[in-house]
């Protein structure tokens, strides 16, 4: 059988796992469970002899994170496709189907979110193989999770048949209230909708042609006019901008009459809230209901999640019950475990107050590495900057600030106007206001420096780029 092409959806920016997940660096790229990020674990789960190289659907902000995280786990993408704007899953999935159909209309595509936890990879592979036959026959296969509790945070799939094999879908069910969820759990023929789909490229295109034809031309144009940029495929923005924001469920699935459901009864979670993280961590240590991370301590706690992502910030809980405490370097969340789905309200409140913690992290990831602010005042800012081996910042200048760089680890190759200097540990260099400059790491290890900025304006938008190996503009 031909290999299945994974389509990894990696453009979302969820808020229910704030403060660890934020718009600038959402949960799929964070290490929440296990040794890999959720995105890396998802990519590895859909790799091996049965799978082709993955196609990743994402946006411009995350393109370098996607490439770097795939490289870290030894995977090469078949394509990293950049959506010009977020339009939900319907146009993204159609774009992937059209792209793959160019070379093989009969190819099987497995669409999966990149932020799910599925510990038993072998069991999931068996479920995919169960669905391969119906998908090859032209069915659209969706995967349903056997529920273990009356969950109100998920949509449901009602099965039309009986047994453990692939079954026809009777209907989709919206997120229920608690009473209805309990009834569906008792009936036994309702499954959680995992949002994972398997189909032939031609089958999905035909489904759009029948149920959502308004997407075909603009998505096709966005693909045909796409441009390759440093190995990424940028869909054309003009046709994409006018697309309706719609999920694949509403656009196609709820209207299609050729849907088959494969039941998956092993552990699964979409990590839709900190209560889900607690449950997944609890499964790994079932004797300890006071779950604490490496930088947290729980004493006489019950039904508690204590987590610190900052090694210099220790969280300690004593005698707590039904509580979650999640800390990062710049924010702390304290809430009742039963309010996990309301964490998004914190993000909305912080946005209303124009707090940077709503969307941005102290550590800002860039294609060349990352930086974080150590001190900020009216006319000066101190940053720690880490540049990956072989990486380089853009050739740039500033209108409002000068900079002083002190290398504390590794070696920097620094260009200031016409002068190029190698700056090693404990050495420094001054970049005057208006000077055209660039910083590079010519070494084999990460280079770390301290940057001291002084000037009347210290915003990240005070930058004029003249040359950039990452093809960014001044706003990127």
Mean pLDDT of the chain: 93
Positive or negative, the CA dihedral 365, 371, 374, 376 is: negative
Question: Whole-angstrom Cα distance, residue 80 to residue 10?
Answer: 10
At which residue do the structure tokens 């503009």 appear?
473
Give 465-476 as a DSSP string. EEE-TT---TT-
pLDDT tens per residue across span 365-417:
888 999 999 999 999 999 999 999 999 999 999 999 999 999 999 999 999 99
Q: What is the pLDDT of residue 233?
A: 96
**Token pair 């039963």 is at which residue?**
338
Retrieve residue 266's tokens: 């092993």
Does residue 464 carry a pLDDT above 60? yes
pLDDT tens digit sequence for 194-245: 999 999 999 999 999 999 999 999 999 999 999 998 889 999 999 999 999 9
| Angstrom distance (rounded) from CA 472 to CA 394 | 9
Read off the pLDDT of each residue in 420-441 and give the average, rounded to a whole number: 97
The mean pLDDT of 142-156, rounded to a whole number, is 94
For residue 474, pLDDT beyond 60: no
pLDDT of 285 higher than 60: no
pTM for the model stands at 0.90
Concatenated DSSP letters for 151-180?
-SSS-EEEESS-SSS-EEEEEEEPPP-HHH
**Going along 265-331, which residue ranges are E strands?**
290-292, 296-299, 302-308, 315-318, 321-327
Domains and their CATH numbers in the chain = 5-264 (3.90.550.10), 288-352 (no CATH), 363-467 (2.60.120.10)
The pLDDT, as a whole number, for residue 286 is 47
Residue 324 and residue 307: Cα distance in Å, rounded? 8
Q: Percent of the chain, pLDDT > 90?
A: 86
- Identify whether the C-beta of residue 47 lies closer than 8 Å to the C-beta of residue 55: no
Beta strands at 232-234 and 79-83: parallel, antiparallel or unpaired: parallel
Kind and range of the H or E element at 264?
A: strand 259-264
Which tens digit of pLDDT belongs to each residue from 74-116?
999 999 999 999 999 999 999 999 999 999 999 999 999 999 9
Task: Of 26, 30, 88, give the one whose Cα is nearest residue 57.
Answer: 88
């Amino acid at each position: 059988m031909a290999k299945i092409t994974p389509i990894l959806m990696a453009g979302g920016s969820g808020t229910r796992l704030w403060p660890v997940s934020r718009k600038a660096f959402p949960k799929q790229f964070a290490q929440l469970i296990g040794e890999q990020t959720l995105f890396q674990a998802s990519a590895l789960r859909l790799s091996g002899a049965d799978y082709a190289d993955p196609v990743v659907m994402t946006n411009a902000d995350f393109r370098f994170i996607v490439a770097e995280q795939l490289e870290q786990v030894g995977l090469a993408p078949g394509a990293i496709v950049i959506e010009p704007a977020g339009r939900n899953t319907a146009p993204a999935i159609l774009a992937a189907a059209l792209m793959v159909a160019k070379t093989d209309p009969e190819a099987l595509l497995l669409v999966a979110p990149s932020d799910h936890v599925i510990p038993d990879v072998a069991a999931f592979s068996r479920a995919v193989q169960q669905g391969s036959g119906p998908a090859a026959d032209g069915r659209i296969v969706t995967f349903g999770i056997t529920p273990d509790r009356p969950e109100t945070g998920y949509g449901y799939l009602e099965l039309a048949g009986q047994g453990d094999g692939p079954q026809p879908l009777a209907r989709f069910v919206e997120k229920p209230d608690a009473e209805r969820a309990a009834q569906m759990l008792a009936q036994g023929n309702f499954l959680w909708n995992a949002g994972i789909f398997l189909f032939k490229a031609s089958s999905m295109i035909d489904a759009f042609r029948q149920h959502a034809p308004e997407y075909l031309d603009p998505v096709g144009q966005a693909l045909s006019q796409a441009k390759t940029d440093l190995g990424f495929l940028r869909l054309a923005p003009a046709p994409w901008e006018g697309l309706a924001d719609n999920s694949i469920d509403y656009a196609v699935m709820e209207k299609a009459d050729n849907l088959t459901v494969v039941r998956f009864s092993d552990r699964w979670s979409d990590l839709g809230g900190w209560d889900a993280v607690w449950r997944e961590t609890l499964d790994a240590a079932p004797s300890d209901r006071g779950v604490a991370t490496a930088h947290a301590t729980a004493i006489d706690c019950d039904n508690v999640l204590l987590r610190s992502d900052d090694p210099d910030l220790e969280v300690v809980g004593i005698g707590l019950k039904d509580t979650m405490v999640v800390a990062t370097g710049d924010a702390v969340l304290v809430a009742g475990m039963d309010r996990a789905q309301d964490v998004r309200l914190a993000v909305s409140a912080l946005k209303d107050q124009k707090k940077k913690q709503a969307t941005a992290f102290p550590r800002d990831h860039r294609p060349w590495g990352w930086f974080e602010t150590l001190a900020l005042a009216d006319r000066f800012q101190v940053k720690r900057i880490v540049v990956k081996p072989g990486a380089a910042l853009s050739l740039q200048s500033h209108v409002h600030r000068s900079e002083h760089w002190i290398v504390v680890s590794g070696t920097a190759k620094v260009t200031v106007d016409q002068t190029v200097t190698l700056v090693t540990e404990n050495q420094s260099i001054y970049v005057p206001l208006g000077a055209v400059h660039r910083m590079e790491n010519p070494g084999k290890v990460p280079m770390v420096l301290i940057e001291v900025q002084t000037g009347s304006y210290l915003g990240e938008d005070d930058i004029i780029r003249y040359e950039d190996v990452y093809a960014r503009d001044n706003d990127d």
